[in-house]
Amino acid sequence: MNGVLKRRLLFVVGPFTGLVMFASVVMIATYLTNREYKEPYRAPAAIVDTTPRVEGLAAETAAAEATAKATPYAEAEYRTFPIVGSRVAIWAVAQLHLLFAAFVLAVPLFAFIIEVIGYKTKDSRYDRLAYEFTKLLSTSFSLTATFGAFLTFMLIALYPKFTNYLMSVFSPTFLPYVLLFFLEAFFLYTYYYGWGKFHPLVHIGLGLGLNLVGTAIMFIANAWLTFMMSPRGISDQGAVLSVWDAVWNHTWMPINVHRVIANIAFGGSVAAAYAAFKFLQAETDEERAHYDWMGYIGNFVAISAFLPLPFAGYWLAKEIYAYSQTLGLTMMGGAFSWLFIIQAVLIGNLFLAANYYLWLGMGRVEGMQPLQKFIKFLLIGIAVCFAVWATPRSIIATVSELRAMGGSTHPILGYLGVMSAKNTAVNILILTTFMSFLLYRRTGKVATVSWAKTGHAAQLTIFAAAAIIVVFLGIYGYFVEATVRIGLSVPQVSSVLAAMVSITAIDVFLFRGASRTGEVRWGKIPAISQYVLIFIAVTFTWLMGLMGYVRSGLRQHWHVYGVIRDTSVDAFTPTLGFATRVVSVTVLLFFLLIGFVFWITTLHDRPDFEQTKTRRREGSGEVSPEFAVGTAGEHRRTS
C-alpha cells in the first residue's frame, strides 16, 4: 500500500517539480540576459546636429586654453608641504642636515689632533684610534650632503620668495662655497682612503686641509643664517649695500666660535656613543679595552669642549642684545624664557652624567680610594647648582597658590630664578666638573716633584678663590643696579676660566714624572658606564636641536629680522611643547640614521663572505676581524 501511494505521489510531484525547475531556469536566464551590457542606441554621427550646448562647451574649453596660455608668470610666495606643513618639514630637514654637518666637521678635528699625538709619541694606538674615528666620516659625509641638497630644494620649493632674496644677497658666496665643498670631498676621501698610504706628515697635512676647508664651509653657511637674525649691510628696504657687511653681521663670529666648540662637544659625544655601542657588543677583553679607551677619549673631547661652551654662549647672547634689545629680551624674558629652564634640565643632566662616568671610570685605576671621599662633595655641589639653575623666576601655580605667594614669584625661591643666581650656579657647576676631571686625571698617580705640597696648596687656593669670587659677585648682584649687575658676569666667567687654565698648567708640571700607584685597566668598567655615554650623546643631540630652535625661532614672524616679514600661515611662534616634540622626532631620526652609519662602519670591519665561509668550514674560533692581523679593513699605518 505504501509503495502504491509513493508511486502516485511521484507521478504528481515529478511533473510539478519539472515545471518549477523550467520556470526557474527561464527566470535566471532572463535575469542574466537583462544584465548583459548592450551598446546604447546612437544615431549615426553624420546625422547629429550640433546643439547650442555643445557649441557653448567647446567655446568654454577654447577660452580656458587661451586664458591659460596668456597667464603671465607670477612668483609664488609660499607653497605648502603636505601633512606637517612647510615649517616643520624645513625644520626637520635643516636640523638633520646640521646634526650630520656638525658631526662631519667635528670628528676630523679631534681625529687630526689624536693623529698628531700618535705621530709625536710614536704610539700606534693613537693612530689606530684616529683611524677608527675617521671611519665614521664617509657615510656621514654623504648623508650631510644629501640633507643639504634636500634642504636647498625644500627652501626653493616651499619658500621661493624668501629664498630668492637670500640668494640675491649672498650670491657672491655661492661659488666659493661649492669650490670649498669639492675640496672638502677631496681632502676627506684622500684622508680616509690614504690612511697609511702616505708619509705621516703628508697625511697629517691632508687632515689639516680637511679641517680648514670644513671650517671655512661652516663659516660661509653661518653667514647666511646669522644674517637672518641680525641683518647688516642692507638698506632699510632690504637692498644690498655691502655683501661683506652682510656676511660679517653682529652674530656671525659668535656663532662661528660657538658652533666650532659645540660641534666638537657633539662630535665627541657621538663618537663616544659609537665606542660604547662597540664595547657592549665586544666579546674579548682586548676589544673591550680598546673601546673603553675610545669611549673615554670621545667623552673627554666632548666634556673638554662643553666646559667653555657656556662662555661662547654668553658672547653670543651679548651680541644679540647689542644688536637688538628686543631680540635679546624676547630670548631671555619673553616667549622663549621657559626654554632656558628646559635647557637647564638638559645641561644639568649632562654635567651629572659626565661626572658619573668619570667617577665610574676611577674604578679602572688601582689606588683611587684616597680620592673617592671627595666625590660625595662634588655630587652635592652639582645637585645644588642644578637645582638653582632649573629654578624658574615665576612658578606655575593655581590661583590660591599664587595668592599665598603674593604673585607668580615665590617669596624665597624667586631669588634663585634670576640671572645672578643662575650665573653663579653654572659657573660653580663648571668648576666642579673641572675638579672631577682633575681628580680623574691624577687617579693612580703621586706627584714626586720637590714642590708637590706647594703645588697642591696653590691649586686648592686658586680653586677656592675662583669659587669665592663667583659666589660673592652672585650675591653682590642682588644689591646693585641693572647696569652694574649685567657686567658682573664678566669677572665671574673670567675667574673660572683663569682658574681652569692656571690649575691645569700647574697640574701638568706637578705630575710630570709622577710615580704610579696603579695601572689603568682599560675595559674594567661597569657596562652601565657605556649606557651613560649613549645618554650623553642623546642629551647633546637634543640640546643642539633645542638651541637651534631658539636661535631660529627668536626671529618670530620675520624671515630676516626687521626686513623680510613672514606672512605665511606658519608665521606664529609655536608652543614649547610643540617645539620639543619636533626636536624629539628629529633626534630619533638622527639616531636611526647614525645607527645606520655605525652599522655600515661595522660592515667595513667584517671579513669577506668567502673568508667567513672558509673559517666556518675550518671550524676556527670567532675573532673580531679588526683585532686580527691582516684582515679586511686593516689600514694601519706601518711606519
Partner 1 sequence: MTIPHTVRVGVLVVAATSFYTYVGQMVPQKEVLPPQETQIRADLTTADMVKVGREIMDGKGLCFTCHTIGKTGALRFPDLEGVDTRAQSRVPGLTDIEYFAQSIYEPEKFIVPGFNPGMPVINKPPIGLNDQEILCVIAYLQTLGGKPTVTLQTSHAYYKAPGAPGGPPASGVTAEQGAAPGGAPPAPPGSAPLPAPGKPPAPVTPPGAPGTPPASPAAAPAPVAPAKGTR
CB of 537 to partner 1, least distance (A): 9
Nearer to partner 1, 584 or 612 (CB): 584
Kindly identify the residues of this chain, within the stretch 562-621, that bind partner 1 according to CB under 8 A: 562-567, 571-577, 579-581, 583-584, 587-588, 591
268 neighbors 302 (Cβ within 8 angstroms): yes
User: What count of residues does the chain have?
Assistant: 639
Q: Which residue's entry shows cell 517539480?
A: 17
CB of 153 to partner 1, least distance (A): 23
Number of residues near partner 1 (by CB under 8 A): 64
559 neighbors 565 (Cβ within 8 angstroms): yes
Burial letters for 590-608: b for 16+ Cβ neighbours within 10 Å, e otherwise? bbebbeebbeebbeebebe
Kindly identify the residues of this chain, within the stretch 479-538, that bind partner 1 according to CB under 8 A: 480-483, 485-486, 531, 534-535, 538
Contact call for residue 321 and partner 1 (CB under 8 A)? yes
Beta bridge partners of 365: 520
Contact call for residue 345 and partner 1 (CB under 8 A)? yes
Span of 109-117, 207-215, 252-260, 474-482 interacting with partner 1 by CB under 8 A:
474-482
Using CB under 8 A as the criterion, what x/- string covers residues 381-420 for binding partner 1? ---------------x------------------------
Nearer to partner 1, 206 or 587 (CB): 587
Kindly identify the residues of this chain, within the stretch 260-299, that bind partner 1 according to CB under 8 A: 277, 280-281
CB of 595 to partner 1, least distance (A): 8
SS3 240: strand
Q: In degrees to the nearest 10, what's the CA dihedral of 499, 501, 504, 509?
A: -110
Beta bridge partners of 516: 445
CB of 489 to partner 1, least distance (A): 14
**In this structure, how many other beta carbons lie within 10 angstroms of the beta carbon of residue 378?**
17
Q: How far apart are CA 450 and CA 513, in angstroms?
A: 11
Contact call for residue 557 and partner 1 (CB under 8 A)? yes
CB of 204 to partner 1, least distance (A): 34
Binding partner 1 (rule: CB under 8 A), the pick from 24, 30, 326, 494 is 326
338 neighbors 549 (Cβ within 8 angstroms): no
Binding partner 1 (rule: CB under 8 A), the pick from 33, 50, 237, 400 is 237
Q: How far apart are CA 421 and CA 415, in angstroms?
A: 7
CB of 406 to partner 1, least distance (A): 13
CB of 99 to partner 1, least distance (A): 14
Beta bridge partners of 560: 564
Nearer to partner 1, 358 or 560 (CB): 560
Q: How far apart are CA 112 and CA 62, in angstroms?
A: 68
Nearer to partner 1, 195 or 279 (CB): 279
Nearer to partner 1, 18 or 333 (CB): 333
Helices (H), 477-519: 482-510
Contact call for residue 357 and partner 1 (CB under 8 A)? no
* Angle formed at CA 219 by CA 314 and CA 245, multiple of 5 degrees: 85
CB of 299 to partner 1, least distance (A): 16
Nearer to partner 1, 36 or 481 (CB): 481
SS3 234: strand
Which helix H or strand E contains 564, and what residues bound it?
strand 564-565
Q: How far apart are the first and last CA of the chain?
A: 119
Query: Among candidates 381, 383, 390, which has minimal Cα distance to 413?
Result: 390
Binding partner 1 (rule: CB under 8 A), the pick from 113, 212, 329, 458 is 329
Nearer to partner 1, 157 or 329 (CB): 329
603 neighbors 626 (Cβ within 8 angstroms): no
Contact call for residue 236 and partner 1 (CB under 8 A)? yes
Binding residues for partner 1 (CB under 8 A): 77, 165, 236-238, 277, 280-281, 321, 324-326, 329-330, 333-335, 338-339, 341-342, 345-346, 396, 478, 480-483, 485-486, 531, 534-535, 538-539, 542, 556-567, 571-577, 579-581, 583-584, 587-588, 591
